[in-house]
Amino acid sequence: MSFPLLTATAVVPAVGAIATAAVPAARRTAAKWLALLFSLATLALAVAVLVRFDPDGDRYQLTESHSWIADFGVRYELGVDGIAVSLIALTALLLPFIILAGWHDADPLETTSSRWRPTQGFFALILAVEAMVILSFEATDVFLFYIFFEAMLIPMYFLIGGFGDRAHAGSDENATAQRSYAAVKFLLYNLAGGLIMLAAVIGLYVVAGNFSLQEIAQARADGSLDMATNTERLLFLGFFFAFAVKAPLWPLHTWLPNAMGEATAPIAVLITAVVDKVGTFAMLRFCLQLFPEASKWATPAIVVLALISIIYGALLAVGQRDIKRLVAYASISHFGFIVLGIFAMTSQGQSGATLYMVNHGLSTAALMLVAGFLISRRGSRLIADYGGVQKVAPVLAGTFLVGGLATLSLPGLAPFVSEFLVLVGAFARYPVAGVVATLGIVLAALYTLVLYQRTMTGPVKPELAKMPDLRVRELAVVAPLIALLIGLGVYPKPVADLVNPAVEHTMSDVQKKDPEPEVEAAK
């Protein structure tokens, strides 16, 4: 029996969460190192998955299948395609950086009771989220996916509400109230989406008789399972609603700025670069594969929602005074590009959307983590409290600039390739949508460059005169992310080769072909 590599990739961070939580209260540093070691072990397993995966092989590889709840047809069924492998690699890669960046975020400000271990709890919850996200990417049983899709809300709720940003304007009571509000809003929005999805999951079982993604998709393809049109559309809407909340897509986005604003910078990265990717990934894996006809039916409306997200998110980012909320609204705009690429129903659009998930994770992590280092020095999230930082901390300012330029998709940095492919795919089928989406690029340049100008240039504010530059630990976090942004910007072929075969399968699921060029090629 082959080694269950996919299971191990999720079990290792889960065991790490338990082990970290069990570290004695007085051994906070030991808990941090233990969490880091488990995240590195998970990364090693993710690399093993990447190495063993054959992009030109079967659609789902490294599969595992065991009976779980036989009476209801629920199986412990795992498998990965190129899209899932790339997102598992992204998740495993970012977690060590998130842990390093948050090294001191949960240190108690004063002596605490030995029965409460905030540092251990902080890192244990991060590892628990990693385990659940990875299992969500691996699950090919719909019910199994649903369990971890919902279960990850619990540790995220405590990370937002219990370990919030200490750079908060106002009293401690006000900060606690804001964190609690953000955590509850995050939980309620996502629970509402999850409950609607649960009804759709039950409906799918009633129609199909099992929860296996591969079996249902095969039955749809060979005609042995024929869903009524209205039934398929209702089930699609139930799944899509939950994924649109998680992504998030306008108008279901309002929880994200609160959550990212009140969370610590590393947890904000965990939210938008890791957890939110489950929503867009699931649109590709479940919506398009299980409900191809309904997906085509809903495409015009979803394209409009994606365009609103792109423009709305960018406009609100332009007007922000809070650095972290600006990045949050920028992420809403970027998720609009991802959804546009998915539902453009072209190979370029879907390849671009998948690359965008990876590249957005890297660029947002770089920008938000450097912003977190900046905020920790000044103790404020307000843009107006900064100025002239590049004169006193040039390395910090330089890495902040690269992260910002990646966010606006500057050519030569990784997000440019993915955004270009999304726009090409959108133009090919929906030219008007492509034109509107292009406005998002202009607005991205505006909010990014204005942010840099207001915080990094100009005269040095007196409060910042002695600001230290990036330390060794902080450089160890940022430097690899910057290197990846440049490397994948210059040479994106490894990731593209990984995801393109999976995109071809998805296009086949919805029986769509790329539009023919209107101008014949010269002979």
At residue 196, the pLDDT reads 92
Q: Are strands 61-69 and 74-80 parallel, antiparallel or unpaired?
A: antiparallel
Tell me the longest C-alpha to C-alpha distance in the chain.
79
77: closest CA among 211, 198, 204, 208? 211
Residue boundaries of the structural domains of the chain: 5-509
Helices of type H across 68-225: 82-101, 118-138, 142-151, 153-162, 172-208, 213-222
What residues have CB less than 8 Å from 158, skipping those under 6 apart?
A: 121, 125, 183
Check: CB of residue 253 under 8 Å from CB of residue 225. Answer: no
pLDDT tens, position by position, 214-236: 888 888 777 777 788 899 899 99
As beta bridge partners, residue 77 has 65
Q: Which residue has the higher pLDDT, 464 or 42?
A: 42
Q: How confident is the model at residue 258 (pLDDT cuts 50, 70, 90)?
A: confident
Rounded Cα gap, residues 141 and 155, in angstroms: 23
* Percent of residues, the chain, with pLDDT higher than 70: 94
Q: What is the mean pLDDT of the chain?
A: 88
Q: Is the pTM of this model over 0.95?
A: no
Q: What is the mean pLDDT of residues 451-455?
A: 91
Nearest to 255 by CA among 323, 317, 331, 189: 189
Q: Measure CA 83 to chain center.
A: 13
Q: What is the pLDDT of residues 261-297, one digit of tens each?
A: 888 899 999 999 999 899 999 999 899 988 888 988 9
* Per-residue pLDDT at 173: 65
Q: What is the pLDDT of residue 6?
A: 93
Q: Flag the least confident range among 339-348, 472-481, 505-514.
A: 505-514
pLDDT score at 400: 93
pLDDT at 1: 46
**Does 155 sit behind a cis peptide bond, omega within 30 degrees of 0 on the bond before it?**
no
Q: What is the CA radius of gyration of the chain?
A: 22
Cα 63 off chain centre by: 24
Q: How far is CA 348 from CA 207, 339, 421, in A?
A: 33, 13, 5
Question: What number of CA atoms fall less than 13 Å from residue 272's CA on the CB side?
Answer: 40
Residue 336 CB contacts under 8 Å (≥ 6 apart), including other chains: 249, 250, 305, 306, 307, 308, 309, 310, 311, 313, 437, 440
State the Cα–Cα distance between residues 38 and 46, nearest whole angstrom: 12
- Enclosing H/E stretch for 447: helix 431-456
